[in-house]
């Protein structure tokens, strides 16, 4: 398994500082998401040039892109933009950088959503995965609270309904915890055959609300989760996505804890 992180989860000081700090901690694999307040693929030409230069300078590998596609409701004004322009820009820029893995979301739920809207969700995700697949991309659906792909059974229903070989899962036990599935194990067993990428952040319940914490400081049994992944033959990326402050302290703490588990 390969230790990875996200461009905007290391430090708030800037792209160069984030990469240099991660490399100091032994992390040379990155998911491309936010760069100094701009989310992939809505980057400047200078951003792109810097990414290419830093990749060579530090010997980096870019593992996936996360443009935030479908972090909007079905009936929002932005939905058509996401499934057309944002998708095309994301694929084109990923191709320019030699990346073939795309993280997407399961379409945000809205108060006026109905159960029969699930067919539209499946259709939109399937269309996206098919288009991306024609260009050699693996599409990875991230489980997140507040989306049609939130709890493990809902993720499974979407993955099976789309039923394309390149439509996989970006597994996030921290997000799963926030949906109320505090024991990752049943959901993991349900979904493990689809896992193509793993996001790692810890979580706990404080005052009735979920808070994210550095790895090892929360309630998720990551020692057993990593053991399960290893036993089930997962050899992919383990992406530190701290989701808590202050950076970079929480990033360092999470990476060092993860290294202890992997050792």
pLDDT at 79: 98
pLDDT at 100: 98
Inter-axis angle of helices 87-96 and 118-134, to 10 degrees? Answer: 30
pLDDT at 225: 98
So where are the chain's domains?
A: 6-197
Q: Does the reported pTM lie above 0.85?
A: yes
What sign does the CA torsion over 229, 238, 26, 51 have? positive
3-state secondary structure of 260: helix
Q: What is the pLDDT of residues 29-64, one digit of tens each?
A: 999 999 999 999 999 999 999 999 999 999 999 999
pLDDT at 183: 97
pLDDT at 28: 98
Q: What is the pLDDT of residues 149-177, one digit of tens each?
A: 999 999 999 999 999 999 999 999 999 99
* Of the candidates 182, 179, 172, the residue with the CA atom closest to the CA atom of residue 204: 182
Q: Residue 227 corresponds to which tokens in the numbers above?
A: 């053991």
Q: What is the pLDDT of residues 65-90, one digit of tens each?
A: 999 999 999 999 999 999 999 999 99
Q: Does domain 6-197 have CATH number 3.40.190.170?
A: no
Across residues 249-260, what is the average pLDDT?
97
pLDDT at 61: 98
Q: Residue 24 corresponds to which tokens in the numbers above?
A: 């100091």
Q: What is the pLDDT of residues 211-243, one digit of tens each?
A: 999 999 999 999 999 999 999 999 999 999 999
Q: What is the pLDDT of residues 134-155, one digit of tens each?
A: 999 999 999 999 999 999 999 9
Q: CA angle, 166 as apex, 162 and 170 as ends, to 5°?
A: 85
107 pLDDT tier (thresholds 50, 70, 90)? very high
Across residues 182-186, what is the average pLDDT?
98
3-state secondary structure of 3: strand
pLDDT at 233: 97
């Amino acid at each position: 398994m390969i230790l990875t992180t996200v461009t905007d989860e290391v430090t708030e000081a800037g792209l160069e500082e984030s990469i240099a700090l991660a490399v100091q901690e032994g992390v040379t694999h990155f998911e491309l998401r936010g760069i100094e307040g701009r989310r992939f693929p809505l980057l400047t030409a200078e951003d792109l040039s810097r990414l290419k230069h830093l990749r060579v300078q530090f010997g980096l590998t870019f593992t996936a892109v996360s443009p935030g596609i479908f972090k909007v409701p079905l009936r929002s004004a932005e939905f058509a933009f996401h499934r057309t322009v944002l998708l095309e820009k994301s694929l084109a820029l990923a191709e320019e950088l030699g990346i073939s893995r795309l993280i997407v979301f399961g379409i945000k739920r809205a108060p006026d959503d109905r159960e029969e809207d699930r067919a539209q969700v499946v259709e939109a995700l399937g269309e996206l995965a098919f288009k991306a697949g024609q260009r050699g991309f693996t599409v990875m659906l991230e489980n997140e609270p507040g989306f049609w792909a939130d709890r493990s059974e809902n993720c499974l229903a979407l993955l099976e309904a789309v039923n394309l070989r390149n439509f996989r899962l970006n597994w996030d036990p921290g997000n799963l915890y926030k949906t109320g599935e505090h024991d990752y194990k049943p959901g993991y067993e349900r979904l493990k055959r689809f896992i193509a990428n793993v996001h790692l952040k810890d979580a706990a319940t404080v005052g009735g609300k979920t808070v994210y914490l550095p790895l090892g400081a929360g309630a998720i049994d990551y020692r057993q989760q990593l053991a399960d992944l290893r036993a089930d033959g997962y050899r992919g990326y383990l992406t530190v996505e701290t989701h808590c402050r202050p950076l970079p302290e929480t990033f360092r703490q999470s990476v060092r804890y993860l290294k202890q588990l992997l050792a």
